[in-house]
Structure 1
Amino acid sequence: MYLFVFCYYILVSLVHFCALPILFLLSFKSKYEESLKRRFFIPEFLEEGADIYWIHACSFGEIKALGPVLEALEKALKDNEKILLTTITQTGFTLAQENYPKCIVCYLPFESFIPFWIQNLSLKAFVLFEAELWLMPVFYAKKKGAKTFLINARISSFEKYQKGKFFYKRFFCYIDKIFCQKRGDKRNFEALGAKDVEVYGNLKLCVNPQVTQEYPIPNQKIWVIASTHQKDSTLEEVLILKSLLKVLPKDLENCPRILFVPRHLERIGGIQQALDALLKSHNLPNLVVSSKVGIEKSLHFPFVLIDKMGVLNNLYALAELVILGGSFLKGIGGHNPIEPAFFGVKLISGPYIFHQRALFDGIQNYVLCDISQLENVLLYVDCLYPSCIIKKIKISRIIQALRGVSEKA
């Protein structure tokens, strides 16, 4: 087993070295300028004397979902214990700093740095979230005597994982306990060599979305086109707007306000250009970009592009209808439906939701449709029922496991 880990470390170190020129160029993009430097070039080496509970989650959505776990764990900490929270993306890092001020927050260094980065830490437990299967952190956490957990675990494509069974069989030897989302995930993890797997549900069902700013309710209805993506040269925003333009009334005064809230704000320029061209071809006014007039004023224009992070819940609270993106193009996997369902909106999603099936199982009154069917669904939008959450899970089982580490120490 040590030979396998040694060979793996040599391989990732070579990959790291060969990729440095590409990483250097990418680091000048606003999306990566901070995260790549802190992960691949100048990691933040920690000198921490406290006993550490280390929790790692990938990005914004996963960091948000950790809230109940972190809150409960903080209450159980002893005087000389702290929580280390690591992430990969800049949006995840910013959210972690804002929401969890009692945690030590930093970027997860690339695996070739891990043996040096972790050497001065006294670890009590190491927790990975969802599909963050990093061998070097798990191996060195176990080497330091820490208990290792994989929580909210899921396998979206078993066929892809099965191709790497040689790796995963060895990886799961270092995981003490897995809390997975569904029975199918349990079967898949066990087929890959995992031993102690418990079906638990999706932690995102525990998170109650918060409204951070209330806006006056406009006279017109609000339709939110949320978390849209781009695949190659295809923009979900364009596909959805084409369907909308076929059903919206010609009288803009009686038209719902259409708010596009895309993922990956670096795409804003391209989205604006593509949507404006489509609107112009229908003799309709251009998009209003929210940063130019403010979100509150933008709600009074027919077509709006929201270029700000962290405002979706504020808009869901006003919306009649939400069309949830990341689901009309193959390979993205959908987005969290719990947040819009919490506000009782009418909810439409595309069919490609393989990352979010456990969450959709926890709500009712939603519509899944292909982009070719979206026009027909929108024609009968008045007949749709408001979505709602029907299943909650208790977080106590995971908290008991994490506290058990503390109590035995």
Structure 2
Amino acid sequence: MLYLVALPLLVYLSFKQKYKESVPARFFLFKNPPFKTKDGVWFHVCSLGEAKALKPILELVSDKDIKITTVTHTGQTEARKYDADVRYLPYEILLPFWMKKQKLLIVLEAEFWYILFVLARYRGTKVVLLNARISDKSVKKYLQFAWFYKKLLSNVEVIYAQSEVDKNRFLALGAKNIEIIGNIKLAGKITKTKEYEKPVQECIVAGSTHDGEEESILKSFIQYKKQVDAKLIVVPRHPERFESVYALMKNYADRNSLTLCRFSESQNFETDLILVDAMGELNNMYAISDIAIVGGAFREDVGGHNPLEPAFFGCKIITGKHFHDQKELFKYVHHVQYVEADEIHKALLATKDLPMSMVEEKINLEPIIQKILE
């Protein structure tokens, strides 16, 4: 009934740039047929970060018939880079008509879909949770519905949790067969795709920023630039925000007599402000930057973003205090400043006396994958 009531909204969303592919595929099965074969290894991820985390795993199971489902368009784009049969995960009530039996369904992080799990088990597919977590922000809600999650998790054969805290939270929900493996994102190979010449001035990159964060960063940068010869590169998290972020940056540039360019039009990094309005460039920006302001943690409703990439390239990292979804990764990264949005200027000034960030942990995925595929 809710699906029928929501149809007008779904049709409306189908015309929006962000959802024009994912909504028709997920809610109407448009250009989203079932997998071509049965008895493969099926990975389900939500979005871009989880899709990227698949790379070292897929290298260990390259001889298998691999399938991948995603929820978001950015996750789908990343998944299509692999040698795999890739689909959007349909809305749950459509799964009985779409889903074929596979040998294994490996679900990453916190993608807990009741009908998906029940149907997989009913059709003889082994369900495994990998890199499983329950965030600080969500745990209270999970516990309120513990009776439901106990039923859902009873369909899972084994849970590979990120941390001891996550294991205890799953136990509180009635889950069994839980092992702690750490965060699989530590196994990912971090690379840059292009080589750019590092600017002469101090270079600051604001990576994976969300609405509201760019303004705080721009205000702080304007103050900082009065004291230090620096330039700011802004890489918004979502491509549909490129235009609005550019308008904001232009406003600040005009008011403060700063130069501004779009990365898509000029890649010489000569201006004071640069908007990276292209996908897949964030690591390339970290590689030429001295300081990284990692977005997503200055807003309580986002939960932070991956700090491993800027740490790998030796950036001095500044981020917000709301990094609850990335707490396990930040545990392995040293020399990070955690500040409120109005403290970014102070943190920028403090970087001159701080060492570069670094990562001191690795994870070996091979024994985990071998155990899953037994």
Q: Give the TM-score taking structure 1 as reference length.
A: 0.88
The offset of 1:286, in angstroms, is 4.8
Distance in 2 of aligned mates of 1:144 and 1:398: 24
Q: In structure 1, the residue corresponding to 2:3 is in which secondary structure?
A: helix
1:255 is aligned to 229
1:17 is aligned to 4
The offset of 1:193, in angstroms, is 1.1
Equivalences for residues 228-239 of structure 1 within 5 A: 228-230=209-211, 235-239=212-216
For the pair 1:242 / 2:230, whether they are aligned, the reply is no
The offset of 1:399, in angstroms, is 0.6
Task: Give deviations 1:81-127, integer Å, cap 9, x for gaps.
Answer: x11100011111111112x12x1011111101100101xx2311111
Most deviating of 344-353 and 241-250: 241-250
For the pair 1:314 / 2:291, whether they are aligned, the reply is no
Which letter does structure 2 place at the counterpart of 1:228?
T
Check 1:23–1:286 CA distance in 2 against 1; reply closer, same or farther (3 A cut): farther
Q: In structure 1, the residue corresponding to 2:264 is in which secondary structure?
A: helix
Equivalences for residues 137-156 of structure 1 within 5 A: 137-156=116-135
Distance in 1 of aligned mates of 2:298 and 2:259: 24
The offset of 1:212, in angstroms, is 0.7
Given that 2:198 and 2:289 are in contact with CA atoms closer than 8 Å, whether structure 1 keeps it comes out as no
Q: In structure 2, the residue corresponding to 1:291 is in which secondary structure?
A: coil
Given that 1:348 and 1:366 are in contact with CA atoms closer than 8 Å, whether structure 2 keeps it comes out as yes
Q: In structure 1, the residue corresponding to 2:129 is in which secondary structure?
A: strand
Distance in 1 of aligned mates of 2:235 and 2:130: 29
1:342 is aligned to 312
- Corresponding residue to 1:208 among 189, 199, 209: 189
Task: Give deviations 1:250-283, integer Å, cap 9, x for gaps.
Answer: 6xxx7222000011121122222223223333x3
1:284 is aligned to 257
For the pair 1:199 / 2:199, whether they are aligned, the reply is no
Given that 2:127 and 2:156 are in contact with CA atoms closer than 8 Å, whether structure 1 keeps it comes out as yes
2:322 is aligned to 352
Given that 2:106 and 2:127 are in contact with CA atoms closer than 8 Å, whether structure 1 keeps it comes out as yes
1:131 is aligned to 110
2:40 is aligned to 52
1:384 is aligned to 354
- Corresponding residue to 2:249 among 264, 272, 275: 275
The offset of 1:373, in angstroms, is 2.1
Distance in 2 of aligned mates of 1:47 and 1:183: 36
Q: In structure 2, the residue corresponding to 1:70 is in which secondary structure?
A: helix
The offset of 1:47, in angstroms, is 5.6
Distance in 1 of aligned mates of 2:143 and 2:333: 30
Q: In structure 2, the residue corresponding to 1:58 is in which secondary structure?
A: coil
The offset of 1:42, in angstroms, is 2.5
Given that 2:14 and 2:23 are in contact with CA atoms closer than 8 Å, whether structure 1 keeps it comes out as yes
Given that 1:153 and 1:179 are in contact with CA atoms closer than 8 Å, whether structure 2 keeps it comes out as yes
2:200 is aligned to 219
- What percentage of residue pairs aligned between the two structures are identical? 39
2:340 is aligned to 370
Distance in 2 of aligned mates of 1:175 and 1:300: 54
Segments of 5+ residues of structure 1 without an aligned counterpart are 1-13, 405-409
Given that 1:341 and 1:388 are in contact with CA atoms closer than 8 Å, whether structure 2 keeps it comes out as yes
Which letter does structure 2 place at the counterpart of 1:51?
D
Which letter does structure 2 place at the counterpart of 1:360?
F
Given that 1:291 and 1:308 are in contact with CA atoms closer than 8 Å, whether structure 2 keeps it comes out as yes
Q: Give the TM-score taking structure 2 as reference length.
A: 0.96
Which letter does structure 1 place at the counterpart of 2:102?
L
Which letter does structure 2 place at the counterpart of 1:205?
L
Most deviating of 158-167 and 204-213: 158-167
The offset of 1:49, in angstroms, is 3.6
2:303 is aligned to 333
The offset of 1:376, in angstroms, is 1.5
The offset of 1:284, in angstroms, is 1.9
Most deviating of 158-167 and 337-346: 158-167
Check 1:226–1:113 CA distance in 2 against 1; reply closer, same or farther (3 A cut): same
Most deviating of 158-167 and 191-200: 158-167
Distance in 2 of aligned mates of 1:144 and 1:41: 23
Distance in 2 of aligned mates of 1:48 and 1:280: 55
| Matched positions, count | 371
Most deviating of 39-48 and 109-118: 39-48
Q: In structure 2, the residue corresponding to 1:266 is in which secondary structure?
A: helix
- Corresponding residue to 1:323 among 293, 299, 307: 293
- Corresponding residue to 1:89 among 60, 69, 72: 72
Which letter does structure 1 place at the counterpart of 2:70?
T
For the pair 1:64 / 2:43, whether they are aligned, the reply is no
Which letter does structure 1 place at the counterpart of 2:67?
L
- Corresponding residue to 1:266 among 237, 240, 248: 240
Given that 1:182 and 1:358 are in contact with CA atoms closer than 8 Å, whether structure 2 keeps it comes out as yes
Q: In structure 2, the residue corresponding to 1:166 is in which secondary structure?
A: helix
Given that 1:64 and 1:95 are in contact with CA atoms closer than 8 Å, whether structure 2 keeps it comes out as yes
Given that 1:96 and 1:105 are in contact with CA atoms closer than 8 Å, whether structure 2 keeps it comes out as yes
